[in-house]
Chain A
Amino acid sequence: MAGPPRGPVAPGRFSVRRRWTLALLTALLAVGVLFSPLLGTVAIAPETVLRILLHQLSSGRLFSDPCAGAPVPPSGCPGLIEIVWDARLSEVVLAVTVGAGLGLSGGTLQGVFRNPLADPFLLGLSSGGTLGTAVVVVFRVGVGEQNLLLPLFAFVGAIATGLVILVAARSRFGSVETLLLTGVALSSFLSAVLALLLVFSPTGSLQVDFWLLGNLGALDWSEDGIVFGVVLVAGTLLVAYGRELSLLQLGSDVAQSLGVDARKVRVRLLLLTSVTTAAAVAFTGVIGFVGLVSPHVVRRIAGNDYRVVLPGAALVGAGFLLAARDLALVAFPGTLLPIGIFTSFVGAPFFAYLLFRRRRASTMGAP
């Protein structure tokens, strides 16, 4: 058919894609990543830390003796390098990766379910993943292979949860309420199974307890690599569905009339979110509220275009978790507090605020 009438048109006030927002967030995060290794349970002079980082990053070409002038532990300069590089930086990278994964998952789920309160925990994805890891620990599955088995079982747990939600809600997939309630029921059920597991396995309970509050410590680069790889691949795919997610906000029918295969896109996004969440909880356990808070922060700054919201939520989530890690070290030096405590201190009041605001908004979350 013929297009609209030709002729000059005024330039419209389209929302700028707000790339500067993403650039700014990236810059802030880079600064955070650079300076976070300065903080740790052992006191090391900042210039020594920076020298070690640059030494390692340049594969030893810069600062041939990075420990020069610093008090060196009994293990010598390699011991200091190990603390800064293998312990601190790997922890920082893990915080960034897990935070990004959780932020992305939360942003995606809020879009998929058109509900500002959606979050990996709400749907039971995190519980499913944690249950998977608990099985590995409690039943001592493949001791020595846990690096691979933990994420694998977490994937199985989270994806199985995602599939159960899909199958249970398949007959009425259009109904957002059905899905959310299925997720809530499933989440409670999985928590009950987890509790049962702990009751009968007192030996494993300590570690599982630790996961339930979340932690970043005691991991090394190979675990980082697994989480990083999965979050990078699944996260990139999630971000690529930004436009579809924006259109889904108009409702399934409208989105479909515009050409978005709403059902297919939802299923794909839910599976990708399961994978991302599983990677995030596999080694660190349940870290609450990052997925809930991060997307809202981005919306406030950059509007509701999911092509910005999703990468933005990843950046904010990464920064949020990194800040929580740094805060824990500053506020309680020398103790290893589970990081989930800090995210919850920020997240829970925010959740209450959203609930309060939601009561005033009329149609939020309606399909």
Chain B
Amino acid sequence: MTDPASPPLRLRALTVRYGERTALYDVDLEVPRGQFLALAGPNGSGKTTLLRAALGFLVPAAGTVELFGSDVLRLSVVERARRVAWVPQEESPRDDVPLADYVLYGRYAHLSWLQGEAPADREEAMRALAAVGLADRSGDGILSVSGGERQRAILARALVQESPLLLLDEPTSHLDIGHQLDLLTRVRELSRERGVTVVAALHDLNLAAKFSDRIVVLSRGRRVADGSPSEVLSEELLARVWGVVADLRRDPRTGAPYLLPHHLVPPASPVPGTFLGRGPVHVIGGGGAGSPYLRALAEAGYRVTAGALNLLDSDLETAESLGALTAVEVPFAPLGPEVRERLRALLTAAAAIVVAPFPVGPSNLPNLEEVRGVLGRTRLLLVRRPVGPEWDFTGGRATELLDELRRHGAREVGGVEELLEFLAGELGVNAAAPSA
């Protein structure tokens, strides 16, 4: 039935659109067996869409969803139910039925048409109710129990479904803090005990950090961070993705990271997306030095352009994957007049130019010369170069040029975060935008 070597869930370049709006853009994700993965991200970032696509509720615009190696859309509805169980954010049952019956519904995928539930199925249902602490409530109606009890009953129903993959969509959003901890503790125990793979969309980053093995952060339909809680959670991430200023602390007992949110990023430095429409940010890079800046800018919502780059440069690959306009030259050749003209057009159109710490040789030196040409007409940001490695292969000509740019008002920034902060602050609502 299921290929044991295949991961429970694999998304390949998944793009989902609702009409004009793209809810998920080119998301790749592989969830290995037994992992507890938390999906985080602001409202509308695509968490629910990702889960719904995984359940086969949505037909992607591009890309595929695989459950244990099979395309979800090629599986029958029953076969899907045997592979993946779902705990929705909330459920509004219309009819009052006993919790025991409600949980028993989870056996449906294992029964053939007209086949009644066997005593064994009822036993399973009661075990599941016991596992969520509701054994003595089996006769209560689903409409008469509290929200937390209903959510636990739904979890019990997902358990008797016996699917090796469990998807939870904000399962705790209607629960108080005690029930939140209770429900997620139960899910994690079940995941550990039975090897169930769990993907849970969780609003609360601290809960995500506490319970999950891995956090994937979505923002505007893209995967912007992915790793263990300690790798992923950062003050910078919270500012960039949620627009929230927070302190990162560590739980003194467990060492687990947690965030202490303070306030929204103040309006004086608005969320970078407000800068959209004032022209793109041009990144001059090469040898891969421009890629982090291109990605960070695109994730923050800026349109980006890049170049001039040679055809084999990894920065070009990055730029193209982000849909950026570029100026391109063949490898090892000095920039030709046509390429220089295109570069000039891109630089003129840009609201800001970022010079990444790229190695400068004779063939790409003209990049800096062209930047000098637009000096004073646009914001210019030079990324500080790390001390040590040799980067100037032009006999000092590049160093001279950079010094000249600095003297004429180019600003130096230390890295990605500082760059984004500067752009948000200087070119945001308050600052007079340079003419594009």
Q: Do A and B come from one complex?
A: yes
Hey, which chain A residues are within 8 Å of B135, CB to CB?
Answer: 9-10, 12
Does B215 reach chain A (CB closer than 8 Å)?
no
Task: Check B124 against A14 for contact (C-beta < 8 Å).
Answer: no
Per-residue contact bits, chain A 1-37, to B (CB 8 Å; 1 contact, 0 not): 1111100011111110000000000000000000000
Pick from B77, B91, B138, B195: contact of A14, CB below 8 A.
B138
Task: Check B82 against A1 for contact (C-beta < 8 Å).
Answer: no
Given contacts A9-B127, A13-B139, A251-B92, are A256 and B77 in contact (CB under 8 A)?
A: yes
Q: Please provide the chain A residues from 266 to 313 with a CB less than 8 Å away from any CB of chain B in the complex.
A: 299, 303-305
20 pairs of residues in contact across A and B, judged by CB atoms under 8 Å? A2-B194, A4-B130, A10-B130, A10-B136, A12-B122, A12-B126, A13-B98, A13-B100, A14-B100, A14-B122, A240-B113, A246-B105, A249-B93, A256-B81, A257-B85, A257-B86, A258-B157, A261-B76, A305-B101, A363-B92
Stretch in B12-20, B159-167, B375-383, B422-430 with 4+ CB within 8 Å of A = B159-167
Pick from B57, B94, B159: contact of A256, CB below 8 A.
B57
Does B288 reach chain A (CB closer than 8 Å)?
no
Task: Check B138 against A1 for contact (C-beta < 8 Å).
Answer: no
Does A70 reach chain B (CB closer than 8 Å)?
no
Pick from A4, A246, A259: contact of B131, CB below 8 A.
A4
Task: Check A2 against B101 for contact (C-beta < 8 Å).
Answer: no
With A5-B193, A14-B98, A14-B100 given, name 7 new contacts (CB 8 A). Answer: A1-B196, A2-B193, A14-B138, A251-B91, A258-B109, A304-B95, A363-B94
Does B97 reach chain A (CB closer than 8 Å)?
yes
Question: A241 — nearest CB in chain B belongs to which residue?
Answer: B113
Hey, which chain B residues are within 8 Å of A1, CB to CB?
Answer: 162-164, 194-196
Does B276 reach chain A (CB closer than 8 Å)?
no
Does A93 reach chain B (CB closer than 8 Å)?
no
Q: In the docked arrangement, what's the CA distance between A256 and B105, Å?
A: 12
Does A170 reach chain B (CB closer than 8 Å)?
no
Q: What's the minimum C-beta distance from B224 to chain A, rounded to whole angstroms?
A: 27
Q: In the docked arrangement, what's the CA distance between A88 and B124, Å?
A: 53
Q: Report, nearest first, the 5 A-B pairs whose CB atoms are least far apart.
A: A13-B139, A259-B109, A259-B81, A304-B95, A4-B127
Question: B113 — nearest CB in chain A belongs to which residue?
Answer: A240
Q: In the docked arrangement, what's the CA distance between A260 and B81, Å?
A: 9
Does B88 reach chain A (CB closer than 8 Å)?
yes
Hey, which chain A residues are within 8 Å of B92, CB to CB?
Answer: 251, 363, 366
Q: Please provide the chain B residues from 95 to 151 with a CB less than 8 Å away from any CB of chain A in the complex.
A: 95-98, 100-101, 104-106, 108-109, 113-114, 122-131, 135-136, 138-139
Pick from B81, B100, B130: contact of A258, CB below 8 A.
B81
Q: In the docked arrangement, what's the CA distance between A2 and B34, Å?
A: 13
Interface residues of A (CB under 8 A from B): 1-5, 9-15, 114, 240, 243, 246-247, 249-251, 253-254, 256-261, 299, 303-305, 363-366
Task: Check A304 against B57 for contact (C-beta < 8 Å).
Answer: no
Per-residue contact bits, chain B 183-195, to A (CB 8 Å; 1 contact, 0 not): 0000000000111
Task: Check B101 against A14 for contact (C-beta < 8 Å).
Answer: yes
Does B312 reach chain A (CB closer than 8 Å)?
no
Hey, which chain B residues are within 8 Å of A9, CB to CB?
Answer: 123, 126-127, 130, 135
Pick from A15, A249, A251, A257: contact of B81, CB below 8 A.
A257
Does B62 reach chain A (CB closer than 8 Å)?
no
Pick from A15, A249, A299, A363: contact of B98, CB below 8 A.
A15
Q: What's the minimum C-beta distance from B435 to chain A, rounded to whole angstroms?
A: 46
Given contacts A257-B55, A258-B161, are A305 and B113 in contact (CB under 8 A)?
A: no
Does B78 reach chain A (CB closer than 8 Å)?
yes
Q: What's the minimum C-beta distance from B299 to chain A, rounded to whole angstroms?
A: 31
Task: Check A12 against B138 for contact (C-beta < 8 Å).
Answer: yes
Q: What's the minimum C-beta distance from B226 to chain A, rounded to whole angstroms?
A: 26
Hey, which chain B residues are within 8 Å of A304, CB to CB?
Answer: 95-97
Question: B140 — nearest CB in chain A belongs to which residue?
Answer: A13
Q: In the docked arrangement, what's the CA distance between A304 and B123, Å?
A: 22
Hey, which chain B residues are within 8 Å of A14, CB to CB?
Answer: 98, 100-101, 104, 122, 125, 138
Q: In the docked arrangement, what's the CA distance between A2 and B196, Å?
A: 9
Q: What's the minimum C-beta distance from A243 to chain B, rounded to whole angstroms?
A: 7
